[in-house]
């Protein structure tokens, strides 16, 4: 039997050697076929990366032509080693370097050739760069891999009832109302947005509170997360967090005088938190639901991190959290195909499963993609503490013309009702099961 050490050395030797590489299209190959193919690549002494709709195939020169014969080859990269490639963050204000030409996009990263300036390999704390580890799925297209069809089950009437209660026009109305406020963390109007959100939560009968946190350079503007709690009927000490940030930013005009409307980023997600509260206050769940609108996200996840690290963690509350569902930019589609990205860490990837069923049964217009390379939104403070958490974000954010601009207004969000409506239905379905429901319409023999 091969010892782990020997195996590791062999793998290290194999993958460290430069070998020719091709990028092929995965098309609609089902998951089991892709799995069989990647096993074949490894058996021939090569390695691979799954990059959403593409596969990077790296193999000895004697094996590669045979491996890619009959496949649609999109690109040939020449001879490479894993450390000559890297993943560079995209679609987020955190990347200070210029974006490099992408070999392929996957999740919110692009596979690029490692620039010479990055040697020796540097990994900044905020994960602009991630190393390439051979034989990993960076991102996966669930529908193309056949996973949505496989998930099709019988519709649950209790879930359907909550899904049917979702009102996408009501959601868009809240989005429009929020976008009127200048929610820049450095402008005082954000306090009016805070009060407006508190009013929405109070109107729905939630227990409201605020969580204040410090932010350098903004002493004159209070920085606060807005929290609305719906106490669970039978399992109050088990929590479901539904969160999104309500602060916004614009970087295309002078900061002092200009408003940051942040309609897609992230009135869309924050309005979805309010819409989920609309639905679940009508059907009180078993577990406690905590609806949270974070602030300070655009300045570096300051509000969510402070809440997790300075409130929930010291109070011993983190183990109570069964799921933290975070939404950030959920309304835009560039082309009317409703691609949505679900993102968590590799370790927490079991949180994907209920979304697979939810899309199959209640939001089949969505085209879900998954990534286990998370960064740069309010799911991170939870993931960093190993709390099951997931980000829902539209997958065309890179093309959104209003991103972090003064033009991020409600009218700029193409396909907003269909795209956002699909996400709302998916999330309502997941949250119904996650929060637990009291089905009073079914009489049980053992009922006392």
Binding site for Zn ion (CB under 5 A): 265-266, 328
Residues 269 and 419: their CA atoms lie apart, in Å, by 12
Region label for 95, one of left (φ > 0), alpha (ψ between -120 and 50) or beta (otherwise)? beta
Q: Which residues contact 170 (CB under 8 A, 6 or more apart)?
A: 275, 278
Instruction: Give whichever of 15 and 223 is closer to Zn ion, judged by the CB atom.
Output: 223
User: In angstroms, what is the minimal distance from the CB of 69 to Zn ion?
Assistant: 44
Query: Cα(116)–Cα(94) distance, rounded to whole angstroms?
Result: 21
- Give, in order, the Cα–Cα distances in Å from 238 to each of 319, 350, 429: 9, 18, 18
C-alpha gyration radius of the chain: 23
* In the complex, minimum distance from the CB of residue 332 to Zn ion, in angstroms, rounded to a whole number: 12
Shortest distance, position 277 Cβ to Zn ion, whole Å: 20
Backbone angles phi, psi at 47, to 5 degrees: -145, 170
Comparing CB distances to Zn ion, the nearer of 95 and 147 is 95
Minimum CB–partner distance for residue 51 and Zn ion (Å): 24
Looking at beta carbons only, is 53 or 265 nearer to Zn ion?
A: 265
Q: What does the alpha-carbon distance between residue 292 and residue 317 come to, in Å, rounded to a whole number?
A: 15
Closest CB to Zn ion among 280 and 294? 294
Would you say 171 or 362 has its CB closer to Zn ion?
171
Q: Which is nearer to Zn ion, 50 or 224 (CB)?
A: 224
| CB of 142 vs Zn ion, minimal distance in Å | 23
> Can you read off the two tokens belonging to residue 261?
């409307």
Helix (H, G, I), strand (E, B) or coil at 45: coil
Toward Zn ion, which CB reaches closer, 82 or 303?
Answer: 303
Minimum CB separation of residue 433 from Zn ion in Å reads: 26
DSSP per residue over 386-398, as a string? Answer: T--EEEEEETTGG
CB of 269 to Zn ion, least distance (A): 7
CB of residue 194 vs Zn ion: minimum separation in angstroms? 17
CB-CB contact of 161 with 235 (8 Å): no
Rounded CA-CA distance 53/140 in Å is 7
**Closest distance between Zn ion and the C-beta of residue 328, in Å?**
4
Cβ proximity to Zn ion, 266 vs 357, nearer residue? 266
Per DSSP (E only), the strands in 166-279 are 207-212, 224-230, 235-245
Q: Which of residues 142 and 403 has its CB atom nearest to Zn ion in the complex?
A: 403
- The minimum distance between CB 14 and Zn ion, in angstroms, equals 41
Label residues 230-262 b or e (16+ Cβ within 10 Å = b).
Answer: bebeeeeebbbbbbbbbbbbbeeeeeeeebbbb
User: Which one, 55 or 327, has the nearer CB to Zn ion?
Assistant: 327
Please, what is the angle between helix 268-282 and helix 416-435, to 10°? 50
Do residues 169 and 154 lie in contact, with contact meaning Cβ atoms separated by under 8 Å? Answer: no
Sign of CA dihedral 89, 94, 96, 98: positive
SS3 381: helix
């Amino acid at each position: 039997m091969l010892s782990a050490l020997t195996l590791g050395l062999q793998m290290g030797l194999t993958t460290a050697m430069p070998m020719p590489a091709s990028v092929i299209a995965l098309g609609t190959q089902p998951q089991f076929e892709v799995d069989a193919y990647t096993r074949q690549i490894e058996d021939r002494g090569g390695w691979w990366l799954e990059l959403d709709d593409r596969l990077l195939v790296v193999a000895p020169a004697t094996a590669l032509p045979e491996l890619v014969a009959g496949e649609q080859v999109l690109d040939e990269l020449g001879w490479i080693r894993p450390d000559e490639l890297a993943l560079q963050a995209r679609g987020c204000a955190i990347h200070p370097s210029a974006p490099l030409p992408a070999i392929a996009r996957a999740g919110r990263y692009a596979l690029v050739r490692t620039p010479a300036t990055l040697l020796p390999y540097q990994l900044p704390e905020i994960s602009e760069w991630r190393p390439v580890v051979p034989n990993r799925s960076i991102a996966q297209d669930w529908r193309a891999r056949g996973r949505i069809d496989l998930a099709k089950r019988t519709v649950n009437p209790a879930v359907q009832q909550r899904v049917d209660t979702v009102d996408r026009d009501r959601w868009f109305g809240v989005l429009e109302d929020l976008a009127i406020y200048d929610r820049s963390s450095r402008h005082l109007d954000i306090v009016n947005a805070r009060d407006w959100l508190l009013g929405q939560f109070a109107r729905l009968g939630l227990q409201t509170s605020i969580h204040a946190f410090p932010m350098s350079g903004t002493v004159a503007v209070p920085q606060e997360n807005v929290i609305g709690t719906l106490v669970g009927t039978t399992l109050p000490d088990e929590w479901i967090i539904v969160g999104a940030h309500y602060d916004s930013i614009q970087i295309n005009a002078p900061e002092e005088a200009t408003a940051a409307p942040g309609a897609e980023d992230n009135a869309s997600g924050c309005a979805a938190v309010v819409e989920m509260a609309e639905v679940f206050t009508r059907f009180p769940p078993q577990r406690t639901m905590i609806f949270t609108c974070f602030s300070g996200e655009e300045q570096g996840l300051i509000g969510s991190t402070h809440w997790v690290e300075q409130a929930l963690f010291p109070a011993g509350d983190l183990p109570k959290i069964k799921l933290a569902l975070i939404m950030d930019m959920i309304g835009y589609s560039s082309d009317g195909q409703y691609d949505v990205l679900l993102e968590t860490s590799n370790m927490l990837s079991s949180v994907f499963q209920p979304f697979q069923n939810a899309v199959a049964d209640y939001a089949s217009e969505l085209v879900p993609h998954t990534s286990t390379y998370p960064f740069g939104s309010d799911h991170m403070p939870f993931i960093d503490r190993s709390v099951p958490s997931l980000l829902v974000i539209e997958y065309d954010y890179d093309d959104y013309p209003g991103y972090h601009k003064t033009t991020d207004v409600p009218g700029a969000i193409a396909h907003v009702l269909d795209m956002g409506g699909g996400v709302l239905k998916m999330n309502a379905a997941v949250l119904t099961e996650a929060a637990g429901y009291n089905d009073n319409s079914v009489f049980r023999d053992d009922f006392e």
